[in-house]
């Protein structure tokens, strides 16, 4: 079974990454891969050959680029297709419950999916893809559909035969999970509270059942200091109930707690990064300077302050001052990269 899943997953992965001619242009456009070379994250260049395909890209920048957009594509791509093609979810669920290697593997994938946010990736696509790049936009939509398929598959396997606390499906017919026994009621109640932290993308659903992750664009980003701590209530209820909370589930609760704290701060960084990438690429590729550059160019005091350089920089010629503005944009971009990497933790 594992050989079959591996072959089908690998085939789906290679079909996108190596065999789709649109993938490399898409990857370069919607991630900061090209800009990663400005960061001091290793002793070697990010690519073995400057103009080669994805096979020339070193492992660290390949993972790091997708981590920045919080799409984490190398982690999950192909899994959903493999499970769907195999079809026998009962067998896969049995493998998960009885084979520690397989269990750890899927738990790791689930951990990354909990950190991922397809709408954050969609923001990068909207900001960085040219308006006329319809084929690249279609590829992005297809990849996000594959992302949802993988979440659905992982969810079905991990929840087969029992009601886990992390059932993040939302049934339109009811806001409350159905408890089959009295022992399951605490877990179901906790799941209801956790589910309220999930958001549904009405534009892209799968027929009434949604598999989401925490979306800081909605509840978390707008949470006021006085807002109810739903996750905290869920954690408290599970911990104080007689429901058995396994170590694995406790780790997931802890991760959700960390995400609840981090994401309201990380999402603005992603928005800033997307804007900075768009601005920097306009400067470098098209020599199009934003209005801020004109202000920077005209105001010597502002230029001196922002450059954090010697006062003589403020009296430099216009071309040099504009070049200094570009450096400031690059520095700001690098700061967002480092901050997002820290927030994602062991994912990148």
Rounded Cα distance between 308 and 17, Å, is: 42
pLDDT on residue 27: 96
Which of 15-24, 231-240, 250-259, 283-292 is the most confident on average?
15-24
Neighbours of 289 (CB within 10 A): 16
Mean per-residue pLDDT, 223-247: 45
pLDDT on residue 290: 80
Rounded Cα distance between 153 and 80, Å, is: 6
Residue 150 pLDDT exceeds 90: yes
Mean per-residue pLDDT, 48-74: 81
Contact 189, 237 (CB under 8 A): yes
Record the pTM. Answer: 0.72
Mean per-residue pLDDT, 258-263: 82
User: Which value, in Å, is the radius of gyration of the alpha carbons in the chain?
Assistant: 23
pLDDT on residue 44: 53
Q: 282 vs 55, 278, 337, CA distance in Å?
A: 27, 6, 19
pLDDT digits (tens, 9 = 90+) for 200-230: 344 444 443 333 333 333 333 334 344 444 4
Looking at the chain, the whole-number percentage of residues with pLDDT higher than 90 is 33
Contact 235, 243 (CB under 8 A): no
More confident residue, 60 or 44: 60
pLDDT on residue 36: 86
Residue 274 pLDDT exceeds 60: yes
pLDDT on residue 41: 58
Mean per-residue pLDDT, 140-147: 96
Closest to 136 in 3D by CA, of 127, 215, 68:
127
Mean per-residue pLDDT, 309-320: 51
SS3 assignment, position 223: coil
pLDDT on residue 214: 37
pLDDT on residue 325: 82
Which of 41-45, 59-63, 150-154, 208-212 is the most confident on average?
150-154
**Alpha carbon distance, N-terminus to C-terminus of the chain:** 30
pLDDT on residue 180: 36
Least confident of 122-131, 140-149, 158-167: 158-167
What is the average pLDDT value for the chain, to the nearest integer?
Answer: 73
Contact 13, 40 (CB under 8 A): no
More confident residue, 320 or 189: 320
Across-strand partners of 214?
Answer: 198
pLDDT on residue 54: 74
pLDDT on residue 229: 47
* pLDDT band (50, 70, 90) for residue 34: confident
CA dihedral 272→342→191→207, nearest 10 degrees, is 50
**DSSP H stretches of helix in the chain:** 2-17, 23-30, 59-68, 73-76, 79-86, 89-98, 100-115, 118-128, 134-158, 185-195, 221-222, 230-240, 247-286, 291-298, 300-307, 318-344
Closest to 271 in 3D by CA, of 130, 114, 123, 119:
123
Q: For 145-149, which contacts have Cβ atoms below 8 Å and span 24 or more sequence positions?
A: 145/204, 146/16, 146/77, 146/80, 146/81, 147/71, 147/73, 147/76, 147/80, 147/116, 147/118, 148/118, 148/204, 148/206, 148/211, 149/80, 149/81, 149/84
pLDDT on residue 240: 40
pLDDT on residue 83: 92
Closest to 69 in 3D by CA, of 277, 212, 262:
277
Residue 259 pLDDT exceeds 50: yes
Neighbours of 140 (CB within 10 A): 23
């Amino acid at each position: 079974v594992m050989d079959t899943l591996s072959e089908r997953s690998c085939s789906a992965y290679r079909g996108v990454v190596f065999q789709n001619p649109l993938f490399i242009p898409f990857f370069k456009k919607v991630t900061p891969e090209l800009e990663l070379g400005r960061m001091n994250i290793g002793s070697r260049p990010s690519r073995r050959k400057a103009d080669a395909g994805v096979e020339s890209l070193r492992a660290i920048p390949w993972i790091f680029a997708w981590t920045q957009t919080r799409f984490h594509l190398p982690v999950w791509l192909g899994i959903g297709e493999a499970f769907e093609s195999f079809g026998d979810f009962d067998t896969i669920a049995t493998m998960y419950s009885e084979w520690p290697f397989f269990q750890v593997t899927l738990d790791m994938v689930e951990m990354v999916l909990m950190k991922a946010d397809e709408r954050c990736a969609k923001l990068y696509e909207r900001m960085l893809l040219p308006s006329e790049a319809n084929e690249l936009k279609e590829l992005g939509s297809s990849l996000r559909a594959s992302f949802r398929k993988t979440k659905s598959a992982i969810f079905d396997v991990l929840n087969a035969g029992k009601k886990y606390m992390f059932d993040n499906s939302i049934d339109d017919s009811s806001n409350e999970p159905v408890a089959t026994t009295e022992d399951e009621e605490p877990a179901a109640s906790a799941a209801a509270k956790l589910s309220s932290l999930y958001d549904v993308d009405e534009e892209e659903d799968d027929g009434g059942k949604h598999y989401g992750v925490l979306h800081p664009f909605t509840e978390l980003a707008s949470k006021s200091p006085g807002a109810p701590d739903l996750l905290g209530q869920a954690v408290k209820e599970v911990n104080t109930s007689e429901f058995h909370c396994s170590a694995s589930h406790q780790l997931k609760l802890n991760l959700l707690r960390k995400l609840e704290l981090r994401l309201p701060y990380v999402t603005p960084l992603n928005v800033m990064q997307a804007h900075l990438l768009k601005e920097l690429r306009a400067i470098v590729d098209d020599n199009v300077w934003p209005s801020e550059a004109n202000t920077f160019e005209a105001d010597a005091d502002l230029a001196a302050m922002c450059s954090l350089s010697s006062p003589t920089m403020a009296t430099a010629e216009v071309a040099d001052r504009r070049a200094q503005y570009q450096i400031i944009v690059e520095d700001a971009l690098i700061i967002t990269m480092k901050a997002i990497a820290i927030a994602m933790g062991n994912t990148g």
